[in-house]
């Protein structure tokens, strides 16, 4: 579903990614962990076409993204980015809901104006999604009337309304109060169990260990280790991984 080859990205004189290579299979749940600022969010944004990169190639569902030439994007390259965003839905740390629209209006906006669905069809799809995330009773509520966890669930439903083949989650619980984290992770767990291809950047280590097919540890723009949850959390091979896990798990291990 996703193939990344020799990805490089710099911010001025600082090189973040140095020849990143990564493959994600259909139906796979890949969890990205590592220190803040290490490149997890930037990698997801590159996959979704929200960030440019210097060299290398990203292939999403057979659609290739390349580095942006100095002359800027061609019409063909812009169309490739548009197609990738249709294939890969993204949920951000902040919910980014339209505050002047109700929950259901937020969900139907893109299917009507981007996919060309009729309002009736879009409403029906949105109502099914609200039921799926246990928020049928909040369809007509505005974001300001919802808790953070409820807003993030609406944001997930909004992404799912486009019927993506891949879901990208960028620290989806980092802006939530602790008591609201579980309700959002529950929705993501359901997607994973249903076979949705997912890439999830998170600091929720228990969730990563429970739900991932593969865990990738990213630090300073490098993939320092990858493997099964069992391998990463019980027998990490690198000192950088061991140091990170000791810090986040706050106990003496390894």
Beta-carbon contacts of residue 203 (< 8 Å; ≥ 6 apart): 33, 36, 171, 174, 248
**pLDDT digit string (tens) for 96-130?**
999 999 999 999 999 999 999 999 999 999 999 99
Half-sphere exposure for 74 (CA within 13 Å, toward CB) = 7
CA distance 75 to 226: 37
What proportion of the chain, given as a percentage, has pLDDT over 90? 85
| Over residues 145-159, mean pLDDT | 96
Residues 88, 54, 240, 189: what is their CA dihedral angle, to the nearest 10 degrees?
Answer: 0
pLDDT tier at 252 (50, 70, 90 boundaries)?
A: very low
| Over residues 66-95, mean pLDDT | 86
CA distance 51 to 49: 6
The mean predicted confidence, pLDDT, of the chain is 93
Identify which has the larger pLDDT, 195 or 74: 195
| Over residues 167-191, mean pLDDT | 92
Is 87 within 8 Å of 166 (Cβ atoms)?
yes
| Over residues 181-198, mean pLDDT | 94
CA distance 249 to 246: 5
Say whether pTM exceeds 0.85.
yes
Residue 77, pLDDT score: 86
Is the pLDDT at 254 greater than 60, yes or no? no
What proportion of the chain, given as a percentage, has pLDDT over 70? 97
Of 110, 53, 109, 62, the closest CA to residue 84 belongs to 62
């Amino acid at each position: 579903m996703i193939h990344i080859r020799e990805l490089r990205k710099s911010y001025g004189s600082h090189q973040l990614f140095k020849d990143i290579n990564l493959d994600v299979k259909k139906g796979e749940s890949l969890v990205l962990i590592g220190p803040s600022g290490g490149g997890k969010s930037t990698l997801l944004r590159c996959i979704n076409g929200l960030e440019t990169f210097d060299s290398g190639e990203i292939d999403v569902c057979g659609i290739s993204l390349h580095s942006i030439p100095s002359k800027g994007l061609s019409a063909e390259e812009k169309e490739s980015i548009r197609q990738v965003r249709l294939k890969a839905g993204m949920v951000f740390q902040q919910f980014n809901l339209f505050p002047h629209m109700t929950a259901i209006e937020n969900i139907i906006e893109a299917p009507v104006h981007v996919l060309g669905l009729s309002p009736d069809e879009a409403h029906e799809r949105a109502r099914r999604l609200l039921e799926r995330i246990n928020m049928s009773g909040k369809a007509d509520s505005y974001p300001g009337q919802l808790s953070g966890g409820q807003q993030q669930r609406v944001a997930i439903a909004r992404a799912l309304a486009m019927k993506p083949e891949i879901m990208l989650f960028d620290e989806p619980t980092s802006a939530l109060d602790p008591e609201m984290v579980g309700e959002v992770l529950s929705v993501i767990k359901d997607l994973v169990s249903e076979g949705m291809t997912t890439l999830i950047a998170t600091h929720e280590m228990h969730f990563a260990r429970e739900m991932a097919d593969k865990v990738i540890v990213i630090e300073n723009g490098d993939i320092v280790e990858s493997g099964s949850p069992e391998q990463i959390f019980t027998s990490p091979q690198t000192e950088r991984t061991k140091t990170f896990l000791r810090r986040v798990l706050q106990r003496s291990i390894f």
